[in-house]
């Protein structure tokens, strides 16, 4: 459930764009700011996804509001998906996969430094980065090819998100089963 909270700014943005794109951007920024402040007040740290979304929506609010107010919806979706991909990649590069912070809320502290637990989060974060890249590719096609329907772009994005969510839900169990099987095979030798 925690990671869903981290994606709240993006979900709210998607829901509010039918009312007003500008409103959607500013509300998403406000939510990401509130999430970051809430976590900082409680833990004295900010999650990678919260910091990234706060920076992304803050910059997008300034760009869409003052520099390029005529950006199309497809272009905004492209920028946001590229931003999400960069957040995921940056979290891998700084050796703090963004999913790890949420996974630790679900697992007892004695497993937090377990090599398999950390590796699973690297794999899950990499899958999210690939999902965001695929979404950005669909958005790029829709942005630069005006005949490409927005509905197909949205459907592609939702399909990729569904795959990433399903993978996130199932991979830890698969990983544990695989590890147990390898241990059992090594013991029987």
Model confidence pLDDT, tens digit, residues 20-62 = 999 999 999 999 999 999 989 998 999 999 999 999 999 999 9
Confidence of residue 149 (pLDDT cuts 50, 70, 90): confident
- For the stretch 43-49, contacts whose Cβ atoms lie closer than 8 Å and that sit 24 or more positions apart, written own/partner, are 47/6, 47/98, 47/101, 47/102, 48/87, 48/90, 48/91, 48/94, 48/96, 48/98, 48/101, 49/3, 49/6, 49/7, 49/87, 49/91, 49/98, 49/101
Q: Write down the pLDDT at residue 126.
A: 98
Q: Write down the pLDDT at residue 174.
A: 76
pLDDT above 60: residue 100: yes
Q: What does pLDDT average to over the chain?
A: 89
Quote the pTM value: 0.86
Model confidence pLDDT, tens digit, residues 172-186 = 887 666 655 545 555
Residue 98 CB partners (closer than 8 Å, separation 6+): 6, 47, 48, 49, 52, 87, 88, 91, 125, 128
Do 129 and 88 touch, CB atoms closer than 8 A?
A: yes
DSSP state of 109: G
pLDDT above 60: residue 189: no
Residue from 52, 48, 174 nearest 120 by CA: 174
Q: To which H or E segment does residue 104 belong?
A: none
């Amino acid at each position: 459930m925690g990671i869903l909270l981290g994606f709240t700014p993006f979900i709210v943005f998607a829901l509010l764009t039918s009312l007003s794109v500008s409103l959607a951007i500013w509300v998403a920024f406000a939510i990401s700011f509130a999430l970051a402040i809430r976590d900082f007040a409680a833990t004295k740290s900010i999650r990678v996804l919260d910091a990234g979304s706060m920076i992304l929506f803050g910059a997008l609010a300034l760009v869409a509001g003052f520099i390029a107010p005529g950006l199309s919806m497809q272009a905004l979706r492209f920028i946001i998906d590229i931003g999400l991909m960069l957040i995921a990649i940056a979290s891998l590069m700084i050796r703090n996969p963004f999913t790890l912070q949420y996974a630790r809320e679900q697992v007892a502290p004695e497993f937090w430094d377990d090599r398999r637990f950390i590796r699973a989060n690297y794999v899950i974060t990499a899958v999210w980065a690939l999902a965001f890249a695929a979404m950005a590719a669909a958005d790029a096609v829709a942005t630069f090819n005006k005949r490409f329907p927005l509905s197909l772009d949205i459907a592609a994005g939702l399909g990729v998100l569904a795959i990433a969510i399903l993978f996130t839900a199932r991979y830890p169990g698969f990983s544990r089963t695989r590890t147990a099987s390898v241990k059992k095979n090594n013991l029987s030798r």
